[in-house]
Structure 1
Amino acid sequence: MASLATLGRELHSGERSFNVIGRRKLFLSISLACILLASLALGVLRLNPSIEFRGGSEFTISQVQTTDQQVAYDALKKAKVEDGARVSNVGLDGIRVQTQSLSSTETSKVAEDLAKAYGVGTDKVTSTFVGPSWGAGVTKKAATSLVIFLVFVSLLMTVYFRNWRMAASALFALLNDMFVLIGFFAITQAEVSPATVIGFLTILAYSLYDTVVVFDKVRELTKGYEGQYRYTYGELVNLSVNQTFVRSINTSVVALLPVASILIIGSVLLGAGTLRDISLALFVGMIAGAFSSLFIASPFLSWLHDRTEAGKTHNEAVAARRATDGELHETGVKDNHGPRVKVAPLQAGGHLGQSAQPKRKKRSKR
């Protein structure tokens, strides 16, 4: 098997090519299916908001001898506040209990029952209260942040590329990432906290950066493409994807390794908490972002371009030239009248060595 460096060189030179644009219907269908599945999961299962969003009372028991969560559920059942209660581990010797909003009297009683159940003093049990108005404010600010982010991204992409189709394609890829993340949290019922929202917004920026890198290469290779009739716009976009493929994979792997480490530490060693919430969103989002930048944004851009009159005319002109010259498109049918067309950048010729140089005839001596 060829090394990643060799694969990258072959993809960049055009010796090897992944036909991403030729299979754009497949990739766009996968994207639409993910969006539909995520929408159904959100409507049926709904998200699992943390106490910061829904409001309620929270108790933290530290230095417990056992981390069995059933002990807490039994104590809550005895206090008759078990409806909607959630229990999770915090670190190696801590328990976190979340309930609906409780009065001061109920809070004191539940704290005493939890301390007694776990065999610790009441000083080891801390309680906090989050009101519903505060949770509603956090929800509103999270939604506002997302809207502002999308508006500024739309303006930035349009101004940067001076091409609304690229901006629309980048936004479609972001939409795909958003629904993949939402669908994941809805299906797994992982808790959505303010830290998750931070990770969510970070992922959108990461995905956008990866898409910009691919589109920069697209803009470079398609500049003035209308003046030639050897390659279609879609083929040049496909070459751009291939030339940035290994770079995107390397960037994603390098970014995923520390995030995976934080996720493992946050989940296994520290239990539920901010580290786990933000790293889980980052881990899932980075995978979705790497996929969408290569297999969603570029195919969607090609699809938008081919629907224009200029795109259709140029594609017909390329097909007509190939029919005349006897050339063959790399996904076409075998033609015995000419060579196979390979979409690749120009390369300098190689040196054949001194042995390939013409020999001078020896002069006869008189």
Structure 2
Amino acid sequence: MFHRLYVGTGAFDIVGKRKRWYILFGALVLVCIASIGIRGFNLGIEFEGGTQLQLPGHGTHGVISPAQAGQVFADATGKQPSSTQTVGVGNAATVQIRSESLDAPTVAKAKEALFTQLQPIGANGQPSVQSISDSAVSASWGQEISQKALIALGVFIVLVTAFLTIYFERWMALAALISLVHDILVTAGIYSLVGFEVTPATVIGLLTILGFSLYDTVVVFDKVKENTRGLLGLTRRTYAETANLALNQTLMRSINTSVIALLPVLGLLIVGYFLLGSGTLQDLALVQLTGMLAGVMSSLFLATPLLVDFKMRDPRFRQQADRVRARRANAARKAAEAEPEPAGGEAAGVSGEAGKAGKSGKAGNSEESAQRREKVYAAASAVPGRTPKAQPRRGRPSGKRKR
């Protein structure tokens, strides 16, 4: 298997099985759209607005856990926090509590309860109520970020469409854009299904994966463009077979590029979440990891099959495919006719048994011949015939005679 990946001879029929990829990707997109419409998103405080309290992660009684801080907050205010998490490690660790918008008296009551029960230690090494800070976030700030992100996404799509149309062609641009929309929908749908919190870092990460999603698609399309140059005048392969060959030739490159790109993202997720406990790094790594995986899958199993279907709408490529099939059928017929038939004496056996051959012997020979023809047809259709090499031209005589 690994040898076939490296040689890239077209052993993996990705384009030929494109209907099953369409069903798979279509079902995934429908599930993601349904989840977005029904469940929605778990928006962070930056988008919904609210109050955030932050206190040191160490107190006189030891380490302050997010569960302890959340319970004290709920008892003091009568409202459950939307999220509690520890940010940072060691002495620099802090506990963040996020909730809906609270008025000033309720915030003061929550801070007093946190100080009384948890005794957080401030920068001076002593418990202090001033070490507990609060901040209010307006929902308008998140809406402004969303609007700017949508504007940036629109400008990006317009520029990419223009570039792909000029450098490649319109059908390649359309196939790349469809795979790009798939990546965005799948990433957003997974966030909705799992319930990941959507923060400004998530929006930034979503914008960064757009370029990676298109990078692999452009690499494959460039190989398809190179392989299909002058294809209409040839009868060796159809457009679908040539595009599938280009996919196989770039398959190992796509896998290597994806693995190398995903390793730093995994490192960012592990270091940011498990070691530092940073919510921002976690959100950034999650959206990049999800988007990159979706981008790799769509560039290999969606973009090129879509391109093949778009190109086969052109009558010229359909006629070229018919010529390829006709040439292969003609080659198979000639190969079957050139194959020698078994001798009658050998087929009938030794003397004395020739009378038993009769009609049954003729029927058996015709059946065997039909089976041989079918095998030849299958072999000719699977392996295209090669163009015979041109005979070397002989040099013109110099006109000089030997003496």
On whether the aligned pair clears a TM of 0.5, the verdict is: yes
The answer to whether the 8 Å contact 2:50/2:101 transfers is yes
What SS is found at the alignment partner of 2:376? coil
**Identity level (%):** 36
Q: Which residue of 2 aligns with 1:132?
A: 139
Match of 1:297 among 303, 308, 329: 303
Aligned residues of 2:57 and 2:65 also touching (Cα < 8 A): no
CA RMSD, aligned part only? 2.3
What is the 5 A alignment of 1:106-145?
106-120=106-120, 121-145=128-152
Aligned residue in 1 for 2:345: none
Give the superposition deviation at 1:340.
Answer: 5.8
Matched residue, 2:177: 171
Distance 2:291 2:386 in 1: 33
2:210 corresponds to: 204
1:68 aligns to 2:65 (yes or no): yes
Kindly state the Cα deviation for residue 341 of structure 1 after the two structures are TM-superposed. Answer: 4.4
How far did 1:339 drift? 4.3
**TM-score, length of structure 1 as denominator length:** 0.85
Show CA shifts across 1:204-246 (max 9, x none): 1101011100000000001111001121100000000000000
CA shift for structure 1 position 8: 4.1
Tell me, in whole angstroms, the C-alpha distance in 1 between the residues paired with 2:117 and 2:276.
22
Q: Secondary structure at the match of 2:55?
A: strand
Whether the 8 Å contact between 2:236 and 2:324 is mirrored in structure 1 is yes
Q: Which of residues 376, 380, 383 is equivalent to 1:336?
A: 376
Once the two structures are superposed, what CA deviation does each residue of 1:170-194 show, in whole Å capped at 9, x if it has no partner? 0111111111101111111111111
Structure 1 residues 233, 67: closer, same or farther in 2, change over 3 A? farther
Q: Deviations over 1:293-341 (max 9, x none)?
A: 11110111111112232232222222222212228xxxxx954266464
Q: Which runs of 5+ in 1 are unaligned?
A: 328-332, 349-366
Q: Residues 173 and 297 of structure 1 are in contact (CA less than 8 Å); yes or no, is this contact kept in structure 2?
A: yes
How many residues were matched structurally? 335
- CA 1:9–1:70: 2 relative to 1, 3 Å: closer
- Looking at structure 1, the residues matched to 231 and 321 of structure 2 have their Cα atoms a distance apart, in angstroms, of 11
Residue 102 of structure 1: aligned partner: 102
Cross-structure match for 1:85: 82
For structure 2, which runs of at least 5 residues remain unmatched after alignment?
121-127, 334-372, 390-403
Tell me the CA shift for residue 107 of structure 1. Answer: 2.4
Over residues 114-171 of structure 1, what are the superposed CA-to-partner deviations in whole Å (9 max), with x where a residue is unaligned? Answer: 233322132322222111222221222222222222222212211121x111001001
Q: Which residue of 1 aligns with 2:27?
A: 33
Match of 1:189 in 2: 195
1:23 to 17, 31, 35: 17
Aligned to 2:294: 288
Look up the SS of the partner of 1:38 in the other structure: helix
Aligned to 1:10: 7
* Alignment counterpart, residue 261 of structure 1, candidates 264, 267, 272: 267
Matched AA of 2:322: E
Q: Distance in 1 between matches of 2:158 and 2:70?
A: 45
Q: For the Cα contact (< 8 Å) 2:50–2:136, is it kept in 1?
A: yes
In 2, distance between residues paired with 1:322 and 1:343? 7
1:149 to 156, 162, 184: 156
Cα distance in 1 for partners of 2:275, 2:118 equals 20
Match of 1:273 among 273, 279, 285: 279
Question: What TM-score comes out, normalization by structure 2 length?
Answer: 0.78
1:231 aligns with 2:231: no
Structure 2 SS opposite 1:79: helix
Q: Where has structure 1 moved over 4 Å in runs of 4 or more?
A: 337-341, 343-346
**Distance 1:67-1:221 versus aligned 2 partners, 3 A rule:** farther
SS in 2 for 1:214: helix
Can you list the C-alpha shifts for 1:247-303, whole angstroms capped at 9, x where unaligned? Answer: 000001111111101101111112242211111111111111111111110111111
Partners in 1 of 2:161 and 2:316 — Cα distance? 24
| Residue equivalent to 2:394 | none
Distance 1:336 1:266 in 2: 60
1:72 to 1:84, Cα distance in 2 relative to 1, 3 A: closer
Q: Secondary structure at the match of 2:295?
A: helix
- Contact persistence 1:52–1:138 (CA under 8 A): no
Residue 22 of structure 1 aligns to a residue in which SS?
A: coil
Closer/same/farther in 2, CA of residues 304 and 334 from structure 1, 3 Å limit: farther
Partner of 1:55: 49
Moved more, 123-132 or 273-282: 123-132
CA–CA distance in structure 1, aligned partners of residues 208 and 80 of structure 2: 34
Superposed displacement of residue 67, structure 1? 4.2
Structure with higher Rg: it is: 2
Give the SS at the match of 1:326.
helix
Is the 2:54–2:94 Cα contact (8 Å) retained in structure 1? yes
